[in-house]
A and B are shown apart, each in its own frame.
Chain A
């Protein structure tokens, strides 16, 4: 049927952009609840309407949603746009988005209403796990039906994205095994399986995120060989081995079988190979990256490289049982998780968004917007260093004081309070930096979504 001559054609907006839009909202919300939780540490009773038992899961769930929404939105955009792979089903992509958003709102409402029931990091009532599992099955089906059309040898990022999706499904199912009494009624088994699942689950989202980083560098450099080399696949398999076996370094003190700890310790030390590779290639990679430092996306990837180095050193140290016995249950663990989530995952995913948004919306950042993003980049990274160091010092002090066994819990918390105060205030500045980076991107998304296309 012919369109009316004077009419306006409503163009279909790219669904990927909605994933990124909601990802940004989740990031900003998650960071805000993180600041609230940090202040509740130093000011008891602060903002009592959302106490710590609610602010902490809201912070964690929203930040995790940021990671998954932005990574997923990226994969949905990259496949058809850059890999010559038409998406198997746009309808399924839409269903995936709706399930994710509706479940996300249900989770937020359940937390605000104080309705819990799940385990740490997934504290919502377990019935909400059903749509989450369903959405990942849909994503996996759509992804594999799309990429199996590719007759060329897969670059490593396609392997990593596929592995991330599959292992998220396996490990997320595993986090819910506690609903069976065989697991629930045996505390040591329950904790062990919970941390086995959570540890591997983080490995699965790292597959999605690191795959995205390799993809971006591949496309920006124009050198597609970097994602097809033997070394790239060796590092992928090494990452997969760590995903499967190294999780027990989180639970050295849980009284499961001794060999579980030895396996985790041994496998964790293979990360020294990754560390060695990073240091070996450091000068060459840095020189190459600095040539493209004016490209905003590259800048964030370079920052993530620095944070990978710092956090990998910390992770390897925490995996040594002799060190772990002092650091377990302290803010050193928080330093590791925050350093990884903000310094590595968020930097890579912001790079991905900066790569996608101008391309998808067919708009450029103004000079002022680019300048604002650039300032935000430096604010985020410089202040994150202080934030990270304050957590390390707080953790070191707590670990030492607990083992020394001369002070009670309240006295220890008073001793480390100055460092936690630094964490809370630097958290505000990091949030400001995030806002400076995300704000101009949200503006471009808004202009794109409100645009009425003339025929």
Chain B
């Protein structure tokens, strides 16, 4: 392979990286089903979620640590919901430390989790597998994805 070919191919790939990045930042992630529920408390709650490093133990969309459960839909789960979440945040559990959060901080975290719940479904339990190995996410469609 001569030098010009190597330069050409790597140049194309470098440019592709930047173009694809911009496409992902814009049209690839345009839809936000939970946008209507975002308030200032939601934004503060999201930062608090990072400051307390919740993701070390919990997941959003299956991404994060596996010490605790996925929190994407914890606010609407039939066996959990806002009262359950509030009490856990207030007192902790055997596995989760009590972070001694203020009422305002608990409200902010719940606002963020409420927003996350509206963005989609995780884990996906209703689906169809296609012949080519792809999957139709039925659960997401129910949420209007």
Nearest Cβ on chain A to B104's Cβ, whole angstroms: 18
How would residues 25 to 39 of chain B score, 1 for a CB under 8 Å from any chain A CB and 0 otherwise?
101111111110010
Nearest Cβ on chain A to B107's Cβ, whole angstroms: 18
Chain A residue contacts of B32, Cβ below 8 A: 186-189
Nearest Cβ on chain A to B97's Cβ, whole angstroms: 6
Interface of A is mostly: helix
Q: How far is the CA of A409 from the CA of B80 in the complex (A)?
A: 12
A329-B29 CB under 8 A given contacts A44-B95, A119-B55, A403-B125: no
Q: How far is the CA of A191 from the CA of B122 in the complex (A)?
A: 13
Evaluate contact between A255 and B33: CB separation under 8 angstroms.
yes
Closest to B29 in A: A189
Is B119 interfacial (CB-CB < 8 Å)?
yes
Chain A stretch 398-444: residues in CB contact (< 8 A) with chain B: 398, 402-403, 405, 408-409
Chain A residue contacts of B61, Cβ below 8 A: 191, 251, 253-254
Closest to A420 in B: B66
User: What is the interface size of chain B, counting residues whose CB is below 8 A from a CB of the partner?
Assistant: 67
Chain B stretch 20-62: residues in CB contact (< 8 A) with chain A: 20-21, 24-25, 27-35, 38, 43, 46-47, 50-53, 55-57, 59-62
Chain B residue contacts of A52, Cβ below 8 A: 56-57, 65, 67
Q: How far is the CA of A260 from the CA of B25 in the complex (A)?
A: 11
Q: How far is the CA of A167 from the CA of B18 in the complex (A)?
A: 11
Q: How far is the CA of A328 from the CA of B123 in the complex (A)?
A: 8
Closest to B127 in A: A325
Chain B residue contacts of A251, Cβ below 8 A: 61, 63
Evaluate contact between B31 and A255: CB separation under 8 angstroms.
yes
How would residues 125 to 145 of chain B score, 1 for a CB under 8 Å from any chain A CB and 0 otherwise?
101011001110100100101
Q: How far is the CA of A116 from the CA of B56 in the complex (A)?
A: 11
Evaluate contact between B135 and A257: CB separation under 8 angstroms.
no
Nearest Cβ on chain A to B22's Cβ, whole angstroms: 11
Q: How far is the CA of A397 from the CA of B77 in the complex (A)?
A: 22
Is A14 interfacial (CB-CB < 8 Å)?
no
Is B109 interfacial (CB-CB < 8 Å)?
no
Nearest Cβ on chain B to A214's Cβ, whole angstroms: 15
Evaluate contact between A329 and B94: CB separation under 8 angstroms.
no
A193's partner among B1, B24, B69 (CB-CB below 8 A) is: B24
A189's partner among B25, B46, B50, B62 (CB-CB below 8 A) is: B25
Q: Please count the residue pairs between chain A and chain B whose beta carbons lie under 8 angstroms apart in the complex.
A: 176
Chain B residue contacts of A325, Cβ below 8 A: 124, 127, 129, 135
Evaluate contact between B46 and A257: CB separation under 8 angstroms.
no
Evaluate contact between B120 and A244: CB separation under 8 angstroms.
no
Is A245 interfacial (CB-CB < 8 Å)?
yes
Q: How far is the CA of A41 from the CA of B65 in the complex (A)?
A: 11
Evaluate contact between A116 and B52: CB separation under 8 angstroms.
yes
How would residues 157 to 183 of chain A score, 1 for a CB under 8 Å from any chain B CB and 0 otherwise?
001000100010010001001000101
Chain A residue contacts of B88, Cβ below 8 A: none
Chain B residue contacts of A328, Cβ below 8 A: 62, 123
User: What is the interface size of chain A, counting residues whose CB is below 8 A from a CB of the partner?
Assistant: 73
Chain B residue contacts of A181, Cβ below 8 A: 43
Q: How far is the CA of A409 from the CA of B133 in the complex (A)?
A: 28
Is B82 interfacial (CB-CB < 8 Å)?
no
Q: How far is the CA of A262 from the CA of B21 in the complex (A)?
A: 16
Q: How far is the CA of A358 from the CA of B61 in the complex (A)?
A: 47
Chain B residue contacts of A191, Cβ below 8 A: 60-61, 63
Evaluate contact between B24 and A244: CB separation under 8 angstroms.
no
Evaluate contact between B120 and A237: CB separation under 8 angstroms.
no
Q: How far is the CA of A319 from the CA of B79 in the complex (A)?
A: 32
Chain B stretch 96-124: residues in CB contact (< 8 A) with chain A: 97, 115-116, 119-124
Evaluate contact between B13 and A118: CB separation under 8 angstroms.
no
Evaluate contact between A250 and B119: CB separation under 8 angstroms.
no
Is B17 interfacial (CB-CB < 8 Å)?
yes
Closest to B5 in A: A233
Chain A residue contacts of B145, Cβ below 8 A: 255
Is B76 interfacial (CB-CB < 8 Å)?
no
A170's partner among B17, B35, B51, B97 (CB-CB below 8 A) is: B17
Evaluate contact between A255 and B119: CB separation under 8 angstroms.
yes
Evaluate contact between B50 and A188: CB separation under 8 angstroms.
no
Closest to A57 in B: B56
Evaluate contact between A153 and B3: CB separation under 8 angstroms.
yes
Is A80 interfacial (CB-CB < 8 Å)?
no
Q: How far is the CA of A196 from the CA of B21 in the complex (A)?
A: 9
Q: Can you identify 15 A-B contacts, CB atoms within 8 angstroms?
A: A44-B95, A116-B51, A119-B55, A159-B6, A230-B1, A237-B9, A253-B62, A256-B24, A320-B133, A322-B129, A322-B133, A325-B135, A330-B66, A331-B66, A409-B69
Q: Which residues on B are within 8 Å of A, measured CB to CB?
A: 1, 3, 6, 9-10, 13, 16-17, 20-21, 24-25, 27-35, 38, 43, 46-47, 50-53, 55-57, 59-70, 79, 94-95, 97, 115-116, 119-125, 127, 129-130, 133-135, 137, 140, 143, 145
Q: Which residues on A are within 8 Å of B, measured CB to CB?
A: 40-41, 44-45, 51-53, 56-57, 116-120, 123, 153, 159, 163, 167, 170, 174, 177, 181, 183-189, 191-193, 195-196, 200, 230, 233-234, 237, 240-241, 244-245, 250-257, 259-262, 265, 320-323, 325, 328-331, 334, 398, 402-403, 405, 408-409
Q: 10 tightest CB-CB pairs across the interface, nearest first? A: A329-B62, A189-B29, A255-B120, A409-B69, A116-B53, A53-B56, A322-B129, A321-B135, A320-B133, A255-B145
